[in-house]
Structure 1
């Protein structure tokens, strides 16, 4: 017990990015769950053992780093969770892929379902995914590999035009429960081997960004859902979170977790510096 209390104290001191009388925002390290972990190794359990009761307004995956928002009192928790449920919270993630071909701006509008072994997948065959631009009609599919992580989609039109990855309604699986899911993307940087994108999950489903990117041919590097025995961390980071502070007159608040050095570890020094610099001054496009 003493070790977990010490671990919580360290995490709270070193990873706190914002705190007031109502909420605590932490930059969650990779490998730590928000709640529900066996053996009480999650943040909520560690805090409780240290004498602090916290109420998470949302969750991010254990393999993901970045912003997690907690209510410090139960009376604030309901309002925060309602904001997430009503999709009035703006969430921006950073994802690093070892691929090329992601357009400057894109939307992935692909329904999710749960397949064998409780794995989240697209509720359609990968061969039925089509790419569309504002300047052109339907073009090439995202490929025929239903594993969803092997090839990038072919370019459907002018590079500057926004892309849409989608699937015709008639091709969506009729025999399973499906969950409409939308992710907006903005390419921030592209190097010789990697691409850095900002991702805004409108619907916020489980594993949404990870599955969406993989099924259009751009899996996140180090993602164990789509990479066997990865040797690196999963390069997905919850970067920014914007919400309304009902306890402070409804003021819109933005909290940001700057990616740590481990997020840039798969890039060489020059690429890491340029990729990190691309975050400066980023303003989400209108589609966000």
Structure 2
């Protein structure tokens, strides 16, 4: 992985204009604010470039990161994440089979010991109703919890893995990772749930972002970042098929109708 800011910036560039910089971040580097860890914002600052993160993705997650070069643009964009009007899509590879073609995970999150994100209910209370996973309100743990919804569509299957396209309707910390793991379909190489260190990366990728951008000619930012070849190789396995065809299938699936949680 490129370690200098000029090299990383050039290698990962998705889009740049007068107001924003969009990068396809490699897995293994932080966006900002990580203790004892060099991050993108810090690297840029060391080279005299001031950037304002519009959102964050986890260090272990690859893909789209949107950074503002101007404070007015930063305000316009961050408000859309706060109001949940920003459209987001992710790709993930799970170390499991048996997921439906489409589904909804409607499970509240809370923060447990050592600041760990968890489902705000006992694991055994999670049940599947059709293609929706949820818990009854009587089973939700007392204390602060956060309603959280993730929609997904299955893109490809192997004998041991499933490729998913996911849309986090809410944007909680670790939402996709915790939702999938707690319904029994953990993301390959996710260190939150796999401490073996057997995988080179976590197979979660920030794939698409769509936001209003009044300074753009069409008033929109429509961003897409393809995952690298390593994404399609979970451990010793390989997801067969042309990645571009798989992404095309994912795109079609994400425009379809996912069962609505109720």
Deviation at 1:286, TM superposition (A): 2.6
Q: TM-score, normalised by structure 1?
A: 0.84
Q: Which residue of 2 aligns with 1:96?
A: 93
Please state whether the residue corresponding to 1:271 is helix, strand or coil. Answer: coil
Equivalent position to 2:65, from 64, 68, 79: 68
Equivalent position to 1:258, from 214, 217, 226: 226
Residues 231 and 20 of structure 1: CA distance in aligned 2, closer, same or farther (over 3 Å):
same
Please state whether the residue corresponding to 1:272 is helix, strand or coil. Answer: coil
Unaligned runs of 5+ in 1: 134-162
Please state whether the residue corresponding to 2:189 is helix, strand or coil. Answer: coil
For the aligned residue pairs, the C-alpha RMSD in angstroms reads 1.9
Q: Which residue of 2 aligns with 1:206?
A: 173
CA distance, structure 2, for counterparts of residue 208 and residue 178 of structure 1? 13
Q: Does structure 1 residue 237 correspond to structure 2 residue 205?
A: yes
CA distance, structure 1, for counterparts of residue 207 and residue 10 of structure 2? 19
Please state whether the residue corresponding to 1:117 is helix, strand or coil. Answer: helix
Q: TM-score, normalised by structure 2?
A: 0.92
Equivalent position to 2:120, from 119, 123, 130: 123
* Number of equivalences: 254
Please state whether the residue corresponding to 1:206 is helix, strand or coil. Answer: coil
Q: Which residue of 1 aligns with 2:26?
A: 29
CA distance, structure 1, for counterparts of residue 60 and residue 116 of structure 2? 16
Equivalent position to 1:286, from 254, 257, 260: 257
| Mapped contact 2:121–2:139 kept (Cα < 8 A) | yes
CA distance, structure 2, for counterparts of residue 276 and residue 206 of structure 1? 29
Q: Which residue of 1 aligns with 2:105?
A: 108
Please state whether the residue corresponding to 1:277 is helix, strand or coil. Answer: helix
Q: Which residue of 1 aligns with 2:184?
A: 217
1:121-159 CA distances to partner (integer Å, 9 max, x unpaired)? 0000111111112xxxxxxxxxxxxxxxxxxxxxxxxxx
Equivalent position to 1:16, from 13, 32, 35: 13
Please state whether the residue corresponding to 2:11 is helix, strand or coil. Answer: helix
Residues 40 and 165 of structure 1: CA distance in aligned 2, closer, same or farther (over 3 Å):
closer
| Mapped contact 2:30–2:37 kept (Cα < 8 A) | no
Please state whether the residue corresponding to 2:78 is helix, strand or coil. Answer: helix
CA distance, structure 2, for counterparts of residue 250 and residue 111 of structure 1? 37
Residues 121 and 72 of structure 1: CA distance in aligned 2, closer, same or farther (over 3 Å):
same
1:208-236 CA distances to partner (integer Å, 9 max, x unpaired)? 00000000000001001001122211000
Residues 178 and 104 of structure 1: CA distance in aligned 2, closer, same or farther (over 3 Å):
same
Q: Does structure 1 residue 172 correspond to structure 2 residue 132?
A: no
| Mapped contact 1:16–1:26 kept (Cα < 8 A) | yes
CA distance, structure 2, for counterparts of residue 259 and residue 12 of structure 1? 16
Please state whether the residue corresponding to 1:185 is helix, strand or coil. Answer: strand
Deviation at 1:75, TM superposition (A): 1.4
Unaligned runs of 5+ in 2: none
